[in-house]
Chain A
Amino acid sequence: MHFLSEVKEGLIIAFRAIRANKMRSVLTTLGIIIGIVSVTMMATAIEGVDRAFEKSASAFGSKVLYIQKFPWVQHDDWWKYRNRRDMKLEYAVAISQQATLVDAVAPSAVTMKDSRFGSRTMLGTFITGTTHHYQEASGTTIEDGRFFSQEESDGGRPVCIIGANVAETLFPSIDPIDQTIKVGGFPYKVLAVLEKQGGMFGTFTADNRIFVPINSFINQFGSRRGVLISARVAAGADIEEAKEELRGIMRKLRHLTPGQEDDFNINEQEMLTQIFGAITAVIAGIGFFITGLSLFVGGIGIMNIMYVSVTERTKEIGIRKAIGARRRTILMQFLVEAASICLIGGLIGLAIAYPLSLIADQLIPTAMPVSVVAIALFVSLLVGVISGFLPAYKASKLDPVDALRYE
Chain B
Amino acid sequence: MDNSVVINLKEIKKIYDMGGAEEVQALRGVSVEIHKNEYVAIMGPSGSGKSTLMNIIGCLDTPSSGLYEFNGVNVSEMNDNQLAKVRNKEIGFVFQTFNLLARSDALHNVELPLIYAGVTSGERKRLAREALNHVGLGDRVHHKPNELSGGQRQRVAVARALVNRPSILLADEPTGNLDSKTGDEIMILFEELHHQGNTIILVTHEEYIAEHAHRIIRVRDGMVETDERVDKRKTVTTV
Contacts and interface: CB of A to CB of B under 8 A. Distances in A.
A319 B157 CA distance: 11
Given A16-B103, A401-B55, A404-B99, A324 B117 contact: yes
A20 to B, nearest CB: 6
Nearest to A316: B101
Interface stretch (A207-215, A264-272, A297-305, A325-333): A325-333
B60 A404 contact: yes
B153 interface: no
A322 B87 contact: yes
A323 interface: yes
Interface stretch (B108-116, B184-192, B207-215, B216-224): B108-116
Contact of A1 (B95, B101, B118, B164): B118
Contacts of A324: 84-85, 87-89, 113, 116-117, 164
A401 to B, nearest CB: 5
B121 interface: yes
A16 B103 CA distance: 7
Interface in A1-28: 1-2, 5-6, 9, 16-17, 20
A61 interface: no
Given A401-B61, A404-B99, A323 B113 contact: yes
A1 B124 CA distance: 13
Contacts of A322: 58, 60, 87, 93, 99
Interface residues of B, number: 27
A400 interface: yes
Chain A contact patch, size range: 20 to 34
B227 interface: no
B115 A321 contact: no
Contacts of A327: 80-81, 84
Given A324-B85, A401-B55, A5 B103 contact: no
B129 interface: no
Contacts of A320: 112, 116
Contacts of A5: 115, 118, 121
A247 interface: no
Given A1-B118, A316-B101, A319-B101, A326 B81 contact: yes
A326 B84 contact: yes
Interface in B148-203: 160, 164
Q: Sorted from nearest, which 8 A-B pairs have the closest CB atoms?
A: A324-B88, A324-B116, A1-B118, A326-B84, A323-B113, A319-B99, A400-B60, A16-B103
Interface of B: 55, 58, 60-61, 80-81, 84-85, 87-89, 93, 95, 99-101, 103-104, 112-113, 115-118, 121, 160, 164
10 contacts: A1-B117, A16-B104, A319-B101, A322-B58, A322-B60, A323-B116, A323-B160, A324-B87, A324-B116, A326-B81
Interface of A: 1-2, 5-6, 9, 16-17, 20, 315-316, 318-329, 400-401, 404
